[in-house]
Every structure is written in structure tokens, then in C-alpha cells.
Structure 1
Amino acid sequence: MNTFSHIVSWLFGILLVALSGFVALETVSRKIFNYSFQGADELGGYVLAVGGALSFSVALIERGHIRIDLLHGRFSPRLQAFLNWVAYVSLAIFGLFLARYCWLVVRDTVEYGSVAPTAWATPMIWPQSVWYGAMLIFTGISVWTAIAATRLLFSGEIDRLNDEYHTKSVMEELKEELDDLKARN
């Protein structure tokens, strides 16, 4: 899973840098040559929609979703495990909700033959299909992790559930950052 997370993070970063370059080129072209390539904002929307959807998966894999854990560490391990399980089941339910309603958007796009209201008039089925695919990846990962957490909870593996599904502590995040810094040097 970390390989997937790493690849998606790099891909999204490359897309954002490329988009930034295109926007800069568009801006210079408009100011100096009074010519617009058209579509920088359209491409930006597509990149952010797909990248945002994929970032849900990255945050889930890396346990980066925010939870309010002010009291979590003070609870018994059993209650912590239950709350961790509830968090992952909630994400799975949210993922299923997204999958259903994003499908309705894609279905309507096909039914109406929607195109972007831009100079390119892009058939919306293409970017929306990629966006929907990214949402399905999140849904699949969220359901898979919820099932794994459920198995751990009901088999009594409380410590393992807490170890694998709790939010990252400040010390864990600091260790990751220091390890990353060490790897770059």
C-alpha cells in the first residue's frame, strides 16, 4: 500500500507542477502576446478533482485523516479500539456514499451528453470517468480497511487494531519527517 501512496503522491505532484507551468505560460502569453491557449482553468479543475480524490486514499493509507484525539489516548485500549473501528467503518460508509452519488453524476453526464462550458468543450465523461475511478479507489481501500479493522475487533486483537488503525501520534509524525529528511541527505 505504501508503494501506491508513494506513486500517487509523486504523480499528483508532477501534475501540479505541470499545471503550474502551463498556467505560467498562459499568463505570460496573455500579457506579452495577447494570446490565450484557453483551458488552463479547465485543466486545473480536472487535476484538482482527480488529485483530491486520490489524496483521500493516500491519507487513509498513511493514517493521515484528522480525528479529534484529545481524549483518545486517555481511554482504555478496548475503548480506543472501538473508536478506531468506528472511524474506519465511518470512512467506508462515506466512501460508499461517494461512490453512489459520484456514479449519479457520471450517469447524468452520459445521459445528457454534457460538455464543459469552455472553449475546449471537453466531453465531461472523460474527466469525470477518471475522477470517478479515483473515488472508487478510495471506496475500495476504505471498505477493505474497515473489513480488516472489523476482523481484528471481533477476533479480540485489540492491541493490533490500535497499533494499525490509530491516528498518528506527534512522535510518529516527527519520526517520519526525520527519516524522510535523513533519506534526502
Structure 2
Amino acid sequence: MKATERIAANLFGAIFITLALAVTAETLLRKLFGTSLQGVDELGGYALALGSTIAFTLALLDRSHIRIDLIHRRLPRSLRTALNLVSMLLMAGLALSLCGMAWIQVRETLDYGSTAPTPWATPLIYPQSAWFAGLVLFTLASLALLLRGIWLLRAGRREDFDRDYGPRGLEDELREELDDLRQRGLTTPDAGAPTGPEVTA
């Protein structure tokens, strides 16, 4: 999953860096030469659609979706586990629903040969196929996490399940930040504190 998360994050960044460069080029062309690419706004729409589907997957893998844990953490352990499982079932159901509706849209676009009502007249099957692929990735990730969670429960590893599928707590975020600092060489392996230059008065 970490490899998938890294690839998705890099793709997400590449999409919006490309969009930023296109917007910069459009601005300079209009300002300096009085001309336009006549399609950057269209490109921005495609980037937003594809970037959103990738963000779905990133948020899922990183457990970044907002969950109100004020009551959750005070519940009995068995009920917390049940709620964590229900949340994964609902997420997988949502992903399957989105993917199914997107497939209907892609099929209609393919049947009618739809094009964008813009100067580029882009065949919509191309951006919609990329959008659909992003939703497929989100669906596969949701199902994979759900199946792994069920396997953990069947194996009696409830503590691992709650740790990996429960809401992220302050300790989880702190641990991830320290791990990130270690990977960048900014902390010592034993101390776990930043090792930058000392600050003197």
C-alpha cells in the first residue's frame, strides 16, 4: 500500500505542477503577445476531476478522512471495532457506487462520441477514462483494505485492526512526523529529536 500511496502522490503532484505551468504560459501569452491557448480552463477542469479521484485514494490510505473520535474513543473496545468495520464497509460501498456511476457516464460518452463544447473540442472519452481509472484505483484500495481488515479480525488480531482502521490519534500523527524526519536525516535514531544546527543566543 505504501508504494501505491507514493505513486498516487507523485501523480497528483505532477498533474497540478503541469496545470500551474500551463496557467503561467497562458498568462504570459496574454500579457506579452495578446494571444491565448484557449483551453487552459478546460485543462484545469480535467486536472481537478482526476486529482480529486487520486486524492480519494491518498486520503483513504493515509487515514486522513475526518472522523469524530470524541465519543469513539470512550466506547467499549468491541463497539469501537464494530464501528471501524462499518466505516470500511461504507467506504467500500461508496467507492463501488461512484465507480458504477462513472462507468455509466463513460459508456454514454463512448456511445455518443461526445466532445467538449470548447475550442479544443476534446473527445471526452480521454479525460473521462482517466477519471474513471482514478475511481477504479480508489475502489480497489477500498476493497483491499476491507478484505485485509476482515482477515485481521478472523485471525483474532483485533488490536492490529483497531490500530490500522481506527481514527488517527495525536500519537499516530506524532509518530508519522518523527518517522518522516528520520527518513530525511533530521533526527538521530535514538533521540528522535531534530538534529539541526544549535541555536545560540
Pairwise same-fold verdict (TM > 0.5): yes
Mark the CA change 1:183 to 1:144 in structure 2 (over 3 Å): closer, same or farther: closer
Question: Post-superposition shift, 1:91?
Answer: 0.3
- 2:88 corresponding residue in structure 1: 88
CA–CA separation in structure 1 for the residues paired with 2:23 and 2:170? 37
- The Cα of 1:34 is off from its aligned counterpart by 0.9
Aligned to 2:46: 46
Mapped partners of 2:155, 2:14: distance in 1: 42
State the identity as a percent: 42
1:62 is matched with 62
- The structural deviation recorded for 1:178 is 3.7
- Bigger relative contact order, structure 1 or 2, given CA contacts below 8 A and separation 6+? 1
| Structure 1 stretch displaced more, 83-92 or 152-161 | 152-161
* Structure 1 residue 96: Cα displacement: 0.7
Runs of 4+ in structure 1 deviating by more than 6 angstroms, as ranges, are none
SS at match of 1:120: coil
Residue 11 of structure 1 and its aligned partner are, at CA, apart by 1.9
Tell me which residue corresponds to 1:142. 142
Say whether residues 1:28 and 2:25 are aligned partners: no
Q: Distance in 2 between matches of 1:60 and 1:76?
A: 25
Alpha-carbon distance in structure 2 between the residues aligned to 1:177 and 1:160 = 21
Amino acid at match of 2:102: C
Partner SS for 2:141: helix
Match of 2:100 in 1: 100
Q: TM-score, normalised on structure 2?
A: 0.86
Counterpart-to-counterpart distance in 2, 1:89 and 1:153 = 14
Distance 1:46 1:17 in 2: 14
Query: For the aligned residues, what is the CA RMSD?
Result: 1.5
Q: What secondary structure is seen at the aligned counterpart in 2 of 1:91? A: helix
Of the structure 1 ranges 22-31 and 156-165, higher mean CA displacement relative to structure 2 is found in 156-165
Alignment CA distance shift 1:103-1:160 (3 Å): same
Seen in structure 2, the aligned counterparts of structure 1 residues 63 and 42 have a Cα distance that, compared at 3 Å, is same
Unaligned stretches of 5+ residues in structure 1: none
- Structure 2 unaligned blocks of 5 or more: 187-201
SS at match of 1:114: coil
TM-superposed CA distance for 1:14, in Å, is 2.1
- Relative to total residues, which structure has the larger helix share, 1 or 2? 1
With structure 1 as the length reference, what TM-score do the two structures score? 0.93
Provide the residue aligned with 1:76 in structure 2.
Answer: 76
1:155 CA drift (Å)? 4.5
Deviations 1:10-53 (A, max 9, x none): 22112211211110110121122110012111111111211110
Q: Which amino acid aligns with 2:113?
A: G
One-letter amino acid of the structure 1 residue matched with residue 73 of structure 2: G
Q: Spell out, residue by residue over 1:61-106, the C-alpha distance to the aligned partner (whole angstroms, 9 max, x if none).
A: 1111111111111112111111110010000000110111001110
Query: For 1:111 and 1:156, how far apart are their aligned partners in 2?
Result: 49
